[in-house]
Amino acid sequence: MNFFQYRNGRLYAEEVPVSEIASAYGTPLYIYSARTLHRHFRAYDEAFDGVPHIICFALKANSSSALLRSLAKQGCGADVVSGGEIFRALKAKIPSGKIVYAGVGKTEEEIRYALRSRILMFNVESENELFEIDRIAGSMKTKAPIALRVNPDIDPGTHPYISTGLRKHKFGIPLEDAFEYYKAARKLRNTEVVGIHKHIGSQITRLSPFVDALKRTLSLIDELCVSGAEIRYLDIGGGLGITYKDEEPPVPHDLAESLLPMLKGRRLTIIVEPGRSIAGNAGILITKVLYMKAGKEKDFVIVDAGMNDLIRPSFYGAYHHIQPVEKRKRRNILADVVGPICESGDFLAKEREIPAVRQGEYLAVMSAGAYGFSMSSNYNSRPRAAEVLVSGKDFTLIRRRETYSDLTRGDIVPPSV
């Protein structure tokens, strides 16, 4: 459930009319609902209440400082994939002991930063990375807590770009090789094996891939325990899907109900890494209609939000429901909803049947709280959008709109030019 609903023909974010927020801060504009965000976090926290667990929000979905601080107050941890995300998590007061660090390309600087920060564990993705972490930890006279990310070769049935658990992908260590990697890790002087990690993809709408991946991972844990390894943390990843159009994904309770029986009697702390399923439907993107352009076969609705603001439709062919902020009786039209970017691939919707809209009115692009602002850019030298957080009757600017001056803030023009 989310807290973006129509009341008397006006779209509200919790207790505030969306048009009021857009008038105050302009467009394009991301609006987030604190109630929705907290509700989705609690759904995970309560679903896994029967076992020791940490819910680690995946910062790649949305790294807004205000949202992270809000989740930290709920008791949330962080799943990070860069030094910058570690910095953001710590600045938001997420405890370092609730931070897990994945990603195939950790640099020496990032590894040192993570060790100094005393994160919970590194999710190691390759043999070379394992040896590099051990070397760096030794130079710092410390021990690095690690889990190996195993690749269970499970097809999650999602978009190829967000599928991560097949043998052909760059992520993780093949499951059949993992035992030997663990043997090698246990011999290293500057690492401590504390866990095991798997993550098979994103926007998964069936439970069976999660179940199959966990079965394979638990078989490896049993083999490791017989060999004398002590596995304390089982990181089952994230990836649970949300409703964008007509999907009917399982909810956290369903996920826990399918997995917890397999974990009964095991002395493991379970780590879950949801991102999209916490933030996705907690945010919307508001855009204004700039022009209407009639075409031979369809119309074009030209808006002020482009692929630099929300790249998912262009990048993945992803669907986002688009609706007027002010609902009224009107005919439907067939149209492409397109932005101002100088690319034919700049669209928010293609050949979509939508209510006939007028120049100057606001549209809401729904389910934009995950992989929206976090994937935005300054392409075409466009300042990035503002962000607002709504809580009940209150709304607060949590990121100001960039200015033209911001676009050149890091530029250096040599005197010789």
Amino acid sitting at position 388 = V
The residues pairing with 397 across neighbouring beta strands, listed in sequence order, are 388
How do 4-7 and 10-13 pair as beta strands?
antiparallel
AA identity, residue 380? N
CA angle 7–12–16, rounded 5-degree value: 115
Q: Which of 56, 76, 225, 342 is catalytic?
A: 342
Q: Which two tokens stand for residue 177?
A: 């090789």
For residue 267, the tally of other CB atoms under 10 A from its CB is 10
Looking only at Cα atoms, what is the longest distance across the chain? 71
- Token pair, residue 304, equals 């002020």
Contact 30, 37 (CB under 8 A): no
Cα-based angle 258, 261, 266 (whole degrees, multiple of 5): 130
Amino acid at 365: V
Examine the residue annotation and report whether 342 is marked as an active-site residue of this protein.
yes
Backbone angles phi, psi at 15, to 5 degrees: -105, 15
The helix or strand, by DSSP H or E, that contains position 285, with its residue range, turns out to be strand 283-293
- DSSP letter for 201, please: B
d(CA 275, CA 62): 8
**Strand ranges (E), 132-268:** 144-151, 173-174, 191-197, 233-235
Question: Which sequence positions are flagged as catalytic?
Answer: 342
